[in-house]
Structure 1
Amino acid sequence: MPSFDVRFIKTVCDDTGGEHRACQAAFTVDAASLSAAAQKAETDFCRQKRVRDWTIFADVLELRTPPA
């Protein structure tokens, strides 16, 4: 089963108005497909943060296949 590196990213502004990407969580998910990995990552993230909607903490979910 393939593994995917997952990062939940939030874009935040600094005191000068510049935008920066802040990683809210990063972990590896084993799943059969990219869509299954995204779904599992969302579920795991919500469970860890004890929320129903991961978009409270992050703007985007990044999925990557780890380097060989």
Structure 2
Amino acid sequence: MANGPMAGRSLHRVLGDHPEALMGAGCGEVEITGPADVLIGYLPDLDPRDVRGPLLAAGYPMPLLRRFIALSAVS
């Protein structure tokens, strides 16, 4: 079941020959029919919901997380 600001809403759109569409995460559930090239991206919320919070809850120490974040910024 979809949730978010678009939950319960339905939108049907037909796109032309060389269409581009950008859909925000608030769309929830999306169905694409026909031939299509789809790129899906996700930008995690590093602090605290998606990365730092769960790792701290799992017992990883903050100094280790700081070191990892510093290393990933260099890459």
* TM-score (normalizing by structure 1): 0.28
Structure with the higher strand share, 1 or 2: 1
* TM-score (normalizing by structure 2): 0.27
The answer to which structure, 1 or 2, has the higher relative contact order (CA under 8 A, 6+ apart) is 1
> Rg bigger for which structure?
2
